[in-house]
Amino acid sequence: MRSAFHLAYNVRDLDDARAFYGDLLGCAEGRSTDTWVDYNFFGHQLSLHIGEPFSVAKTGLVGGVKVPMPHLGVVLPMDDWKFLANKLEQAKVEFLIAPSVRFEGEPGEQWTMFFFDPSGNPIEVKGFADFDAIFAS
């Protein structure tokens, strides 16, 4: 079965969102109006609407670190993850969790980074060397 998720959430400013999601993250812009814009978020449909972003709280405990819940995320192949991590570091993006490995040497070993879009929406990007390990336990 081939599928892609669709997620829609609020941002405060579409120009800021375009600069972040389009220019910085490299997501291709799709349809838009004066109040929303669609992006190809690494193969998934992300719709950003003008409005007040959802509230988040650091209530998710993963690897001993509290992370914001809810949050958006994507899992990338390691080469793509490293490329994006380097791009974000060069752009001086402020990280909640800087690019780093967790569960090293364990099933599900992954690289991760956490940051926020200009409206404060939390984003996690994971990198896996072996996609078969995504659901390993």
Q: Check pLDDT > 80 for residue 1.
A: no
Structure confidence at residue 65 (pLDDT): 87
Q: Indicate the pTM of the whole model.
A: 0.93
For residue 105, give every residue at least 6 positions away whose Cβ sits within 8 Å of its Cβ, in sequence order, or none.
none
Closest by Cα among 86, 136, 135, 75 to 111? 75
